[in-house]
Amino acid sequence: MKIVAGNSNRALAEAVATELTLKLCSVSVRRFADMEVFVEILENVRGEDVFVIQSTCAPTNDNLMELLIMLDALRRGSARRITAVIPYFGYARQDRKSGPRTPISAKLVANLLVEAGANRILTLDLHAMQIQGFFDIPVDNLYAAPLFVRDIQERQSGNSVVIVSPDVGGVVRARQLAQRLNNTDLAIIDKRRERAGVSEVMNVIGDVAGRSCILVDDIADSGGSLCNAAEAVMAKGAARVEAYVTHGVLTGNAVQRIGESPLTMLTLTDSIAATPSIRAARNIRQISIANLLSNAIHAIADESSVSSLFA
């Protein structure tokens, strides 16, 4: 087995390799003067089971192109099997036609990954589960929920907890987490989104008064939905409010908005590398998915069950 790392999240790749007691494969990834990507695999990979760790986060197109070229280089180097490990799958929110003459970019990216040489995909908390059907190769979609459950149990011991979905679309995700927390209560934010990135909270469905509210989502981008939801539950008498989000995209002034919000803490995974502003934020923290990824990689390499990791 060999682990190859791109430049999107080097720290996570190194942590995964450490968990597997391996060293990262020696790779040269550089740019020509016109910013074309060039990749050279500096070790023999013939007949090897290779795992390429690369999140397609910002700069999304650069990181995606880097991943595609690494896959092509490994295929041409005669690797036996190539698994693209994509902790954060960019373009996942473009999973359907949103209007006339618009693309389904998630399907396009799936096609590109397969054509570049990926034999299977390993990812975390896909924004839309149907994206797995865009691939004609095996896709293992991991879940951050077990990590969140352990962390919530440690931080909220003795508190009356209610899991809150920030919108109707996230109810299934929130319910699954609530079930893992011994079927704790569930609340839902009823909101209306006027346009992309702007949301208006309409109502809170469920009893949150005097309780510790846990907002759950897969992606935090502008932070508007989380902050609006936090304000809504506090207005309904919540004792405190925290949030657990798998992928911290956090564009624009999202970090500042979260810092000024009622959120006591926003917990993210390290599927996307933390920026300096995130590391400096008073109410944002990251928990590592390195152990989760390493266990999944080990299971794939051994041809054993990945789903058993979530039993």
> Whole-angstrom distance between the N-terminal and C-terminal Cα of the chain?
26
d(C-alpha 177, C-alpha 123), whole Å: 19
Per-residue tokens: 144: 């951050």
CB-CB contact of 67 with 110 (8 Å): no
User: What is the reported pLDDT for 192?
Assistant: 67
User: What is the reported pLDDT for 310?
Assistant: 77
User: What is the reported pLDDT for 197?
Assistant: 56
User: What is the reported pLDDT for 201?
Assistant: 62
pTM score > 0.75 for this model? yes
User: What is the reported pLDDT for 167?
Assistant: 87
d(C-alpha 45, C-alpha 2), whole Å: 8
Q: What is the CATH number of domain 2-142+291-310?
A: 3.40.50.2020
Main-chain phi, psi angles of 121, to 5 degrees:
-120, 135
Q: Please tell me if the domain spanning 2-142+291-310 has the same topology as the one spanning 145-288.
A: yes
Give the chain's radius of gyration (CA, Å): 20
**Dihedral of alpha carbons 248, 252, 255, 258, sign:** negative
d(C-alpha 229, C-alpha 227), whole Å: 5
DSSP code of 23?
Answer: P
Active-site residue identified among 97, 107, 191, 236: 191
The question of whether 97 is a catalytic residue gets the answer no
**Dihedral of alpha carbons 161, 166, 171, 177, sign:** negative
Residue with tokens 């992928």: 247
> Is CATH 3.40.50.12780 the classification given to domain 145-288?
no
Q: With a cut of 70, list the residues of the chain below it in pLDDT.
A: 192-201, 311
Q: Residue ranges per domain, the chain?
A: 2-142+291-310, 145-288
User: What is the reported pLDDT for 311?
Assistant: 61
Q: Helix (H, G, I), strand (E, B), or coil: what is residue 248?
A: strand
d(C-alpha 266, C-alpha 285), whole Å: 6
